Structure 1
Amino acid sequence: MRQILVAAMVALAVSITVTPLLIRVFTRHRLGQQIRADGPASHLAKRGTPTMGGLAILIALWCGYGAAHLVGMSYGGTGTTASGLLVLGLATALGAVGFLDDVIKLSQQRSLGLTASGKYLGQVSAAVLFGVLALHFRGGSGLTPGSRQVSIVRDISTVSLGLTGFLLAAIFLVVAWSNAVNITDGLDGLAAGSVGLALGSYVLVTFWQYTHSCAVKAVPGCYTVRDPLDLALVCAAGTAACTGFLWWNAAPAKIFMGDTGALALGGLLAGLSITTRTELLMVAVGALFVAEILSVLLQIVMFRTTRTRLFKMAPFHHHFELTGWPETTVIIRFWLLAAIASATGLIAFYGEHLTTTGSRLP
């Protein structure tokens, strides 16, 4: 628990202090966001707002994680683990793809950076490397960070994907989650706040997995996750990093996270879902992001088949803006939806544990 608190406090402190430094540097060099011409007219005033703030989130994430392990070593705690480093590595790799995308946008002075194929190439490459490595590094209990089994709240031992199936699933999850968070990042603070809520719920999930690990005591309802405590440190650092960034990113935003932050945070969600063996549970916890990317897909399908639009504009947070909701109203209500989704996921997680152990609520 001490390490979790240290990870959160250090990440919060770093994020909330590094972000204004980036604001000053990016403002001085005129590294400002370009705005879509077809977006809501109210967003045009945001043109020139510093972007690439996701760098602060990544720096805070690594600092929080590293500080927690330095403190842990002082009283005989375990060192870094394969699971934690793989998830952080995936987030950083996707952040690098997003950084390249942001740099191209700024250098070309346009709202589009990498081509779709270029971005997918980066995402798929990161996913394949993560997937291959996740099936190595067996711990003392013989577990690897990833599992070939299909997972909801835990592995379903009777359903195996095999190596090819696992890699394809990893590619799908990484591409889907990174793009879903990127699409959600269209209003001030919406993505940072929503991801922070999802990661906060996973602090509880991973810590519960640690206290009920089969490596500690093999009883009904225990969890076969390789490094749950280390993943809890990653989640705590990620939650705090998003919170510190949100201080400056909340409406009216002083800085945007850009693709640097959005792709990195999406990779964080994907990596955590795989290493905690809760891929389908993450769909419930991150239901807001699922709804956002589905709104884009539905809009495309609807227009191509009927030449009509389901929403005034996709992703659907813009739809509510165009119907007259103030931006802050949309953000707060979507945060509430994200909080409900996170709570629903936690209830499902705990409910499954009770069912597995044969326990009942008092």
Structure 2
Amino acid sequence: MIAWLAELLVQFESGFNLFQYLSVRTIFSVLTALFLSLFLGPRLIRYLQRMQIGQTVRDDGPESHLSKSGTPTMGGLLILGTVVTSILLWADLTNRYVWVVLFVVVSFGIIGWVDDYRKVVRKDPKGLIARWKYFWQSLIAISTAFFLYMTANIDAETALVVPFFKDIMPQLGMLYIILSYFVIVGTSNAVNLTDGLDGLAIVPTIMVAGAFAIFAYVTGNVKYAEYLHIPYIPWTDELVVVCGAIIGAGLGFLWFNTYPAQVFMGDVGSLSLGATLGVIAILVRQEFVLIIMGGVFVIETVSVILQVGSYKLRGQRIFRMAPIHHHYELKGWPEPRVIVRFWIISLILVLFGLMTLKIR
């Protein structure tokens, strides 16, 4: 919006041209989301406390988590609100990729909100029934993938980019829709599973979003794309502003979510953030790199799959509890130690993901 206004006003005052620069708009996107989060956070927390919208802790979980019972949840509303506001203010709203991301953010946020509402307000421990949650996630993901496939203008938008190989970029055809579906739904649920400790999910999300800002910029710049042997997609550079909004909102939320947390993001935050990272990875054609950089999310998901599979097939559990962060808690690790070590692992994996830009 502001970029559009600046374009109109620059004819009267050349200084408004500043707001047309991508770097400036990205910085303002980060700061807008951050300061809005810091300003609105305490107010949202007080409202959630007044409405008694608090976290319910399972009896079979780690004993240390019992003290978290009643901590305000659905704090993801803060993330979604500030992300959407910042994007609408600073992104180029003529860019269809921006609207695709906004659609995914809001749609998956609604699914998470319904799930949280049923769990916390209606006191239904199951929340939104799993099959209906999966149905709506699938419908939104397939709709998004189909729209992107049908509106693709160049071959690069539907090519599969394989890390470390500059000459392997096969056209996916209709497989693009299937791959995109699994990336969006899978990442959404992976981040949701990771969100079990204070700040555990939001910091890797910030790191991955920061790395994707770099991918978006170089993918949308013809010179850098040619130099790095990655496909040039001229509309992706605007996603840098989107990633900036996620970073700012994430940092603002972390202010209140760091150990000991004053608020949890709930499914309204985790499902939406995960799906957003997934769709950004699709837009910049870096689905495989998402698996690398989001390795913590992958490990958490795989630990649940292995735990359930082992118990059903052999009647034995592999881990003391899944997702795997609870396993380390039950081994005696203090919660902050688990959190920070997972952050360190996430940082290492993000750096490995960035290395794929050069090593080809």
Task: For 1:35-114, list aligned pairs within 5 A.
Answer: 35-69=57-91, 79-114=93-128
Distance 1:308 1:243, change over 3 A: same
Q: Which SS does the other structure have where 1:150 is aligned?
A: coil
* 8 Å contact from structure 2 (residues 222, 234) kept in 1: no
**CA deviation digits over 1:191-228, x for unaligned, max 9?**
111111111111222122233458xx967725322422
- 2:143 matched residue in structure 1: 129
User: Once the two structures are superposed, what CA deviation does each residue of 1:58-95 show, in whole Å capped at 9, x if it has no partner?
Assistant: 111112222224xxxxxxxx544111210221121111
Residues 226, 232 of structure 2: 8 Å contact kept: no
Alpha-carbon deviation of 1:53?
0.7
Letter in structure 1 aligned against 2:30:
A
Q: Which runs of 5+ in 2 are unaligned?
A: 1-22
**Which one of 261, 277, 291 corresponds to residue 285 of structure 2?**
277
Contact 1:52 1:256 (C-alpha < 8 Å) held by counterparts: yes
Q: Does residue 10 of the first structure (1) align with residue 24 of the second (2)?
A: no
Aligned residue for 1:357?
Answer: none
Contact 1:36 1:111 in 2 (8 A): no
Distance 1:255 1:271 in 2: 26
User: What letter corresponds to residue 300 of structure 1 in structure 2?
Assistant: V
Alignment partner, residue 359 of structure 1: none
Letter in 1 for 2:302: L
Moved more, 226-235 or 331-340: 226-235
Shift of 1:136: 3.8
Residue by residue over 1:302-326, the C-alpha shift from the partner in whole angstroms, topping out at 9 and shown as x without a partner, is 1122211111000000000000000
Could you say which residue in structure 2 is the equivalent of 1:174? 184
Cα distance in 2 for residues equivalent to 1:232 and 1:38: 42
Q: Alpha carbons of 1:222 and 1:301: their partners in 2 closer, same or farther (altered >3 Å)?
A: closer
Cα distance in 1 between the residues matched to 2:46 and 2:166: 47
Q: Partners of 1:341 and 1:80 in 2: how far apart?
A: 34
Task: In structure 1, list runs of 5 or more residues that go unmatched.
Answer: 70-77, 353-362
Q: How far apart, in 2, do the equivalents of 1:350 and 1:226 lie?
A: 20
Cα separation, 2, equivalents of 1:261 and 1:335: 19
On the 8 A contact 1:127/1:174 being kept in 2, the answer is yes
Q: What residue number does 1:355 align with?
A: none
Choose the corresponding residue for 1:117, options 114, 127, 131. Answer: 131
Identity, % of aligned pairs? Answer: 34
Map of 2:10 onto structure 1? none
CA–CA separation in structure 2 for the residues paired with 1:220 and 1:23: 45
Secondary structure (helix, strand or coil) at the match of 2:217 reads helix
Query: Larger deviation: 223-232 or 260-269?
Result: 223-232
1:1-362 mapped onto 2 (5 Å cutoff): 1-69=23-91, 79-137=93-151, 142-143=153-154, 147-153=157-163, 159-163=170-174, 165-212=175-222, 221=229, 223-352=231-360
- Computed over aligned residues only, the root mean square deviation of the Cα atoms, in angstroms, reads 2.1
Mapped contact 1:84–1:227 kept (Cα < 8 A):
no
Task: Provide the C-alpha distance between the structure 1 equivalents of 2:250 and 2:226, rounded to a whole number of angstroms.
Answer: 35
Q: Following TM superposition, by how much is the alpha carbon of 1:35 offset from its aligned partner in structure 2, in angstroms?
A: 1.2
CA contact (8 A) 1:212 1:222 kept: no
* SS of match in other structure, 2:288: helix
TM-score (norm 1): 0.88
TM-superposed CA distance for 1:11, in Å, is 1.0
Q: 1:337 to 1:158 in 2, by over 3 A?
A: closer
Contact 1:35/1:44, CA 8 A, preserved across alignment:
yes
CA distance in 1 between counterparts of 2:281 and 2:229 reads 19
CA 1:80 to 1:248, structure 2 compared with 1: closer, same or farther past 3 Å? Answer: farther
Q: Equivalents in 2 of 1:240, 1:151: separation in Å?
A: 29
Distance 1:68 1:203 in 2: 15
Give the aligned residue type for 1:100.
Answer: V
Hey, what does 1:75 align to over in structure 2? none
Q: Once the 2 structures are TM-superposed, how far is the Cα of residue 157 of structure 1 from its aligned partner?
A: 6.7
Specify the code of the residue in structure 1 equivalent to 2:190. A
Task: Describe the SS at the equivalent of 2:160.
Answer: strand
C-alpha contact 1:7 1:237 (8 A) present in aligned 2: yes
